[in-house]
Structure 1
Amino acid sequence: MKKLESREDIEHLVNSFYTKVTQDETIGFFFSDIAKVDWDKHLPKMYSFWESILFGQMSYKGNPMAVHFPINEIQAMEKRHFDKWLELWRKTIEEHFTGENADTAIYKSENIAKLMAFKMEMARKS
């Protein structure tokens, strides 16, 4: 097991994670059918997002919350979807990495998922 300590590590983590996501029957359809993700654009954004969060490399420019609201309008993004996302993220990290940054990636993802789940639910109620 290696420590999560470079952009290359993040790329490996994100690529491995999204391989799981796209094959998952609970959340995969959000990416393939609803958002119709362009992976050549999405993956580099995710590398920069996690690089910013874990290493303070302010390379990410964007608003992840705003991107998810239109998807939520088409198909409700529910707590169970965020729980599955977290489960796959945690599993991917634990398969490949150890150490403080790996723990931080799990901790931060839990906070992100809770906030996003809450905001998506509130948006559906308004």
Structure 2
Amino acid sequence: MQQLTDITSLEDIKLLVDTFYSLVKKDEFIGPIFNEKISNNWPEHLEKMYRFWQTILLEEHTYSGSPFPPHKQLPITKEHFDRWMEIFIETTDSLFLGPLAEEAKLRAMNMAEMFNYKIEYFRNTKKN
């Protein structure tokens, strides 16, 4: 069995992102949402995710933008974020071991919680 190492390069980020989203696309629960929203724009989405994680984990500032707005109108709930996190953790743990791998999981969890909170907030304020 191969010895796992930490995330150290853009190539590692690409491996994480590509592996993760290949599983997301096939997932029965969250896959249809991603596939419908992203449609034929997977290459652009993956490129954006490489830059996002490169900026967060490697502190190489290649991402600019606001990650939340594209998610604001999605038909998703906490259960969708839970499944997203489950796949992210499993993917990260299968590929990497080390402080940056742990940081990736922590950042993903914080982002999922914040996005879920903000989506719920926007839905509730629209109803009132």
The aligned residue for residue 45 of structure 1 is 48
So what's the TM-score if we normalise by structure 1? 0.92
Cα separation, 2, equivalents of 1:65 and 1:37: 21
Provide the residue aligned with 1:66 in structure 2: 69
Q: Structure 2: which amino acid aligns with 1:108?
A: R
1:56-109, CA deviations, whole angstroms, 9 ceiling, x for partnerless residues? 111101111011113x2xx2x100000000000000000000000000000111
SS of match in other structure, 2:68: helix
Q: Matched residue of 1:2: which SS?
A: coil
Letter of the aligned partner of 1:26 in structure 2?
Answer: F
Q: Which runs of 5+ in 1 are unaligned?
A: none
User: Residues of 2 paired with 1:37 and 1:116: CA distance?
Assistant: 24
1:98–1:12 distance in 2 versus 1, CA, 3 Å: same
Structure-1 separation of matches of 2:32 and 2:120: 19
Instruction: Identify the residue that residue 88 of structure 1 maps to in structure 2.
Output: 87
CA distance in 2, matches of 1:23, 1:90: 16
5+ unaligned residues in a row in structure 2: which ranges? none
Cα gap change, 1:50/1:68 in structure 2, threshold over 3 Å: closer, same or farther? same
5 Å-filtered alignment, 1:113-124, equals 113-124=112-123
Whether contact under 8 Å (2:38, 2:45) holds in the other structure is: no
Equivalent residue, structure 1, for 2:105 = 106
Q: State the distance in 2 between where 1:5 and 1:90 align.
A: 18
Distance 1:37 1:81, change over 3 A: farther
Q: Name the % identity.
A: 36
Q: Which amino acid aligns with 2:67?
A: P
Whether the aligned pair in 2 keeps the contact of 1:7 and 1:51 (CA below 8 Å) is yes
- Runs (4 or more) in structure 1 with deviation over 4 Å come to none
Kindly name which structure, 1 or 2, has the bigger radius of gyration based on alpha carbons.
2
Secondary structure of the equivalent of 1:98?
Answer: coil
Q: Count the aligned residue pairs.
A: 122
TM-score when scaled to structure 2?
0.91
Q: Is the contact between residue 31 and residue 37 of structure 1 (CA under 8 Å) also seen in structure 2?
A: no
